[in-house]
Amino acid sequence: MNEQKEIETEIGKHLMQPENYGKLEDADCVGVGIDHATKSYVIMYIKRDEKSILDVMFGTNGTQDTTTLGSLFTEMIKGDSIEGAIETTSALDKDLQESYAAIPAPKVDATKPEGEQVERVSTEHQDSANMVLTAFRAAMRHYDRKKGGIDEEQFEMSIVKTCPYSTTECHFVKKES
């Protein structure tokens, strides 16, 4: 129970005073994780050498949830080895996939008009974490591409979601007006 209290305190701290928020001017790599369904993104700026993450900052146009998760994640990897940060990201990604899979299937009410029959299922928390982790992976990819001679300002990656009630990726269809 004490560990749970410590986790809640840490989350509260990052909620009220996010760490590492802003642009890192001398970043070696810049990655963007985009959720095309909501047009939300996280941009991550990383200063690194071959072995370590020397500094990291992030920005987002997302929710407070996204800012809090970005703050927590950047504090976790700041000063870590590249290998350690990648391992942390992989472990968090595994937890994220389990979290997506645990979302209950939406309720269907066939008595309602078409387009309103399926209850909306929120994946906001998962998508926020997904954008943060995707931005990190995009930044690492940007670094590799720069080392390979590709000159670009940043590298962007779309988040990938898997619907818990489907065996395929989520598909978002805009409702006709």
Residue 157's pLDDT band, with cuts at 50, 70 and 90, is very high
Range of the domain at 27: 18-158
Domain membership of residue 64 (yes or no) is yes
pLDDT of residue 33: 97
- CATH number for 122: 3.90.1010.10
Domain membership of residue 67 (yes or no) is yes
Taking the whole predicted model, whether its pTM rises above 0.85 is answered as no
Q: Please, what sign has the CA dihedral across residues 165, 161, 114, 173?
A: negative
Domains held by the chain: number: 1
Give 164-173 pLDDT, tens digit per residue. 554 444 544 3
Domain membership of residue 169 (yes or no) is no
Domain membership of residue 119 (yes or no) is yes
Domain membership of residue 49 (yes or no) is yes
Is residue 2 over pLDDT 90? no
Is residue 6 over pLDDT 60? yes
- Rounded average pLDDT over 141-163: 91
Domain membership of residue 166 (yes or no) is no
Domain membership of residue 168 (yes or no) is no
Domain membership of residue 13 (yes or no) is no
Residue 103 has a CB neighbour count (10 Å cut-off) of 16
C-alpha distances in angstroms, 81 versus 45, 51, 76, 105? 16, 6, 11, 39
